[in-house]
Amino acid sequence: MTAGPGSELAPPTAIGAVVARPGRPDLHDGYLPRMFSRAVHVLSIRGIDVRLDPTLVVLAALIVWTFAGRFAAEHGWSSATVMGLGGMVLFLASILAHELAHALEARHRDIEVDSITLLIFGGVTQMHAHSSRPRDEFAIAAVGPFVSLLCGAILGLISLATPLLPWGDQLTQLLRLLAALNVVLAVFNLVPGAPLDGGRVLRALLWAVLGDRSRAIRVAARCGQLLGLTIVAYGIWIAVRVPQATIAALWYLAIGGFLYWAAGSEHRNSRLDDLYSGTRVREVVALGRDHPATSFPLETPTDGDLPNGDDAGLPQVDLDADLHELVDAFQGHHDRVILTDAGEPIGTVAERYVARAVALLRRGRRPTAGSEPTP
């Protein structure tokens, strides 16, 4: 049993995922914002930014090498390389179609979409908010694999006509392979474990049955970690039992490790999300002022009239608002926020101090009596 390009040991080559990004990296675990900080914007589709992460080069090279190796014996390396390049472009386009389906369905359900990023493991659609209903979660997750199946069907139908064209034999083989890969992509992404689409489908179903979104997220995340460990174990088994399949083994190890890590991040972010939902801004500000180690200054205006000068464009958040609102206010280019009490501005606060106070909250610290912020 060997594992060369296109062999039966080749692992799934792309992962599709949808993630919500409710906060900045300083205030949230933010594994995705950090991971994609080097992604380059290449185009916009209906107002949705499409970005390419530098690691995508590895996936593109792997696809070309795999396809070329599969066709070289029959068509020669020159033709096989051209087929590999064409297959790479079409396969990445199908991954983009998969992610665009997520993004457009989210837009249809009034959820703001930040961007689509293509990277070494496939693609990720980033949104600024969570689904508010299980059925929305289900629809947004399920539409990606559906579009992958649709792409597979379309490519398969086109391959029926290509034998009549120049390079007909090569085109037919290439399109049929791409059709099969899209079906594999759809099936793999429906495996019930976060951060795969199947994990989000599982999450939606559990949410509908249990009525507890946070619990559903944690169950799906644990399933994703189990899936990641299973794939890692399979990669180790291949490395031990089939030494000549080193590349396939390493790819399984990388995919499994990524799934385990990403699922763990979803689990941690769920707990942080619960913390945000159960905490008022007033408590965070009070905690920061209550513990000198955070050096939490509440900057007040010199003329008592906020906003003014450089503060004019800053977002405003009331002290009685949910902590989510304060975290969301730091999105974009703002590193300070105007705090208000019953609609009256009382000062500004910097993001770094809020991050320190949130860190204290995560360790179980709460403000003491009498530390409430005042104008």
Query: DSSP of 1-43, one letter per residue?
Result: ----TT-TTPPP--EEEEEE--S-TTTS--HHHHHTTT-EEEE
d(CA 27, CA 327): 7
| Residue that has been written with the tokens 């906020």 in this structure | 306
Of 5-9, 27-31, 34-38, give the lowest mean pLDDT range. Answer: 5-9
CB 202 within 8 A of CB 182: no
pLDDT of residue 105: 96
Spatial neighbors of 139 by CB under 8 A, at least 6 apart, are: 105, 109
Neighbours of 38 (CB within 10 A): 12
Which domains, ranges and CATH numbers included, belong to the chain?
15-198 (no CATH), 281-362 (3.90.1280)
Q: Which are the catalytic amino acids?
A: 99
User: What is the DSSP secondary-structure string of 206-253?
Assistant: HHHHHS-HHHHHHHHHHHHHHHHHHHHHHHHHHHHH-GGGHHHHHHHH
Is pLDDT above 70 for 292? no
pLDDT of residue 373: 52
Q: Give the bridge partners for 345, in sequence order.
A: 340
**pLDDT confidence of 318, banded at 50, 70, 90?**
confident
Rg value, the chain, Cα: 24
pLDDT digit string, tens, across residues 195-226: 899 999 999 999 999 999 989 999 999 999 99
Is pLDDT above 60 for 4? no
Among 82, 84, 89, residue whose Cα is nearest residue 67: 84
> Over pLDDT 90: what percentage of the chain?
48
Tell whether omega for the bond before 292 is within 30 degrees of 0, i.e. cis: no
Spatial neighbors of 262 by CB under 8 A, at least 6 apart, are: 17, 31, 194, 195, 224
Query: Given CA atoms 274, 275, 278, 281 in this order, what sign does their dihedral have?
Result: negative
Look up residue 163 and give its two tokens: 């034998």
Q: Chain-wide mean pLDDT for the chain?
A: 81
Task: Pick 309 or 121 by higher pLDDT.
Answer: 121
pLDDT digit string, tens, across residues 70-83: 999 999 999 999 99
